[in-house]
Structure 1
């Protein structure tokens, strides 16, 4: 298959930077597709910023992720909640999955109400403590639902100087909006699904605004500021839930990257799009991968449990760990048909 339009667009970027893309052939086609939603002035205005990442200190390390409009705060809040709980020593114990799942649930049940690009104080320690106190080690919490009811690529790299990059890109749904700019053949994402159409909502759709989104790239540093790990995953709403499990295995239980990545997982599921977990958080089922040892124990304390095949529905997580001696250990998720770990 050849994509000459994509090749022309990439050549324009190489020669003219962002203007070659947004003010060139692709931009003109996008304006035609937008039915008045986009103007040349919109495309001429830069839309990327350097931002301050969010951070929590857990298990003797600093874990970093993206600020709003990303849902990265859910990973960090979940980790902070879980660190204050009495996790079983073995990740095979049903209580391990229960406490992490409850940490994810109490961290995110109100995401649709509070996540927008200007959201502040989402990692307030007092609020984290309040939510932690809701977790019962013996029972699944009943949550109040809000008032109303992808396709992702992740890569990470560490160079010989110790510089690490945790990078994620996504169309949202598999082919995004299903629209293709006709001149170049470039398809358009549908990240606009994160907007609210409710008047007055803090994430209401409007000009010049950015939608809440699910992308949660992460990195981990030691107390002295040196890089420990770069990690991320695809998985829609489940990205913070997947990384909560991987990072806990890595930092608390001392598992090797390959173990932490390949181990069975749970996720909060609805059987829907992968972007609707928090529409009705109390209706979410705890999906378990085949091979997980937690099923009977979780059902006994009130979780609705469903077993699913080991595979892509539980994300494709990838990780590079920097050892204290500077050696690197990487792992690509065996659930991915195209993921790979390469070193030299």
Structure 2
């Protein structure tokens, strides 16, 4: 299932061909990779509410000769009170139907920051394709159907009433108005306009006006590790990007087999992921530091046994998010990930615009004194893990990422290792079968870390070998919960080679 696409002067990859086409339109009009990424993401906030939206968060990496990182994840409101939740009997943050798991969404702040620094076209032009689709309608994707049926039963979920079949026309007029407000008045049009007022009313004390005036986008120092002769970059905490880099650093020093088809390959990478992530719950919070030292990588690598599974609590599982990437003719690359967290998010809708709100607050802890305890003005631990790869001379090699909840670092570990260590083409690396560790909801990895799910396709032969090494293996059909990864690779001759994940069904890598 090799689906590599090639281009010379620009490329966009995303989960939806309508979104990728909007991004390419920006490149055709002289826009930057940042313009293309924002246009693509804006369309996805309309057409993929089961993955992302204006009510969610955003992280991005940009290469324009150097690597910059953007953290546009929102903060909890001034009314955040862990003690009140504990008094109600909660031991963890509510997963659905509770406004307290909804930090102020950071997506729009992320767009404004990205466009202010790297945009070339007017923001109104960049958002125009998304506005048109929101107002005139778009065909429902096959991946939206199940969640749309549930969303339609929730207060504010009227946009999805009657969506029962692939291709049904969906209109989202409130989302269109919100996008027009951003196009005309920037962040204030969104956070201080119709959406913001509705959020204040819905929150009933969870947020204050000052919470919405505070910008939720910061340019931060990216994290980096050297692996397989390249520098791999990701975003720092509160992102879990360090898990990908730590696992790659561990894997780079292991005696990997000559081909990924061997069960030893899946075993060693899984053990690298276990060694990297067994203490994630304790150490990941927005102020975490010093997670990638050489001594720490070596210490964790020593935990890996090529003959048996590590008995430790480790990262895994799947979730709903969307990843996209863009490269322009000048070589600027953008790796962007944007998310509601769990499918349609909290299944709470802002009533005026009917924007569905994320539930990223589920990353907070309710343990008293925990550094990620739910409290006012805090960013929760985040699963979002964008990645970017540079050559030793600092030039851009690859923009890559995936959806997948807690499993994002594991999926990227496999894709990047195939690309860099084994020299596989993008389409081969993206479409190849995957494994992942534990969990059922996408965000409960730490409750069920032992199970190892293996994606079954013709030619996959990991199962028996992994079982012999102590892994409780569960075989699952191809494409059922193993993420949607996309990448664009810049070859030394300047040709762009990209791939959109076939698991996304309507994804597209489009070049120019």
Q: Distance in 2 between matches of 1:95 and 1:145?
A: 19
In structure 1, the residue matched to 2:118 is none
Q: 1:88-121, CA deviations, whole angstroms, 9 ceiling, x for partnerless residues?
A: 0110111000000000011001101100000001
1:274 to 427, 442, 445: 442
Kept in 2, the 8 Å contact 1:333–1:339? The answer is yes
Output the TM-score relative to the length of structure 1.
0.96
Q: Give the total of aligned pairs.
A: 338
Structure with higher RCO (Cα < 8 A, 6+ apart): 2
In structure 2, the residue matched to 1:107 is 276
Following superposition, the deviation at residue 251 of structure 1 comes to 0.3
Kept in 2, the 8 Å contact 1:176–1:188? The answer is yes
Q: Distance in 2 between matches of 1:246 and 1:316?
A: 11
In structure 1, the residue matched to 2:456 is 290
Kept in 2, the 8 Å contact 1:112–1:279? The answer is no
Following superposition, the deviation at residue 157 of structure 1 comes to 0.7
Following superposition, the deviation at residue 279 of structure 1 comes to 3.2
In structure 1, the residue matched to 2:290 is 121
SS in structure 2 of the partner of residue 50 of structure 1: strand
Following superposition, the deviation at residue 144 of structure 1 comes to 5.7
In structure 2, the residue matched to 1:187 is 356
SS in structure 1 of the partner of residue 243 of structure 2: helix
Following superposition, the deviation at residue 145 of structure 1 comes to 8.1
Output the TM-score relative to the length of structure 2.
0.65
Change (3 A) 1:145 1:325: closer
In structure 1, the residue matched to 2:62 is none
Change (3 A) 1:23 1:333: same
In structure 2, the residue matched to 1:63 is 232
Q: Distance in 2 between matches of 1:275 and 1:144?
A: 14
2:507 to 336, 339, 343: 339
SS in structure 1 of the partner of residue 289 of structure 2: coil
In structure 2, the residue matched to 1:237 is 406
The answer to whether structure 1 residue 304 and structure 2 residue 472 are counterparts is yes
SS in structure 1 of the partner of residue 443 of structure 2: coil
In structure 1, the residue matched to 2:193 is 24
The answer to whether structure 1 residue 138 and structure 2 residue 341 are counterparts is no
1:51 to 220, 223, 240: 220
- Is there any run of 5+ residues in structure 1 with no aligned partner, and where? none
SS in structure 1 of the partner of residue 330 of structure 2: coil
Kept in 2, the 8 Å contact 1:110–1:278? The answer is no
Kept in 1, the 8 Å contact 2:314–2:445? The answer is no
Q: Distance in 2 between matches of 1:290 and 1:118?
A: 39
SS in structure 1 of the partner of residue 341 of structure 2: coil
Divergent runs of 4+, >6 A:
none
SS in structure 2 of the partner of residue 248 of structure 1: helix
Following superposition, the deviation at residue 312 of structure 1 comes to 3.9
* Superposed CA RMSD: 1.2
Q: Distance in 2 between matches of 1:21 and 1:113?
A: 35
- Is there any run of 5+ residues in structure 2 with no aligned partner, and where? 1-169
Following superposition, the deviation at residue 269 of structure 1 comes to 2.1
1:130-279 matches, within 5 Å, as 130-143=299-312, 150-270=319-439, 272-279=440-447
Kept in 2, the 8 Å contact 1:166–1:218? The answer is yes
Q: 1:41-98, CA deviations, whole angstroms, 9 ceiling, x for partnerless residues?
A: 1101111100111000111110001100000000000000001100001101110000
Following superposition, the deviation at residue 338 of structure 1 comes to 2.1
Kept in 2, the 8 Å contact 1:287–1:308? The answer is yes
Q: Distance in 1 between matches of 2:342 and 2:456?
A: 25
Change (3 A) 1:254 1:210: same
Deviates more, 1:272-281 or 1:108-117: 272-281
Following superposition, the deviation at residue 278 of structure 1 comes to 2.1
Q: 1:236-275, CA deviations, whole angstroms, 9 ceiling, x for partnerless residues?
A: 01100000000000000000001101111100022x2111
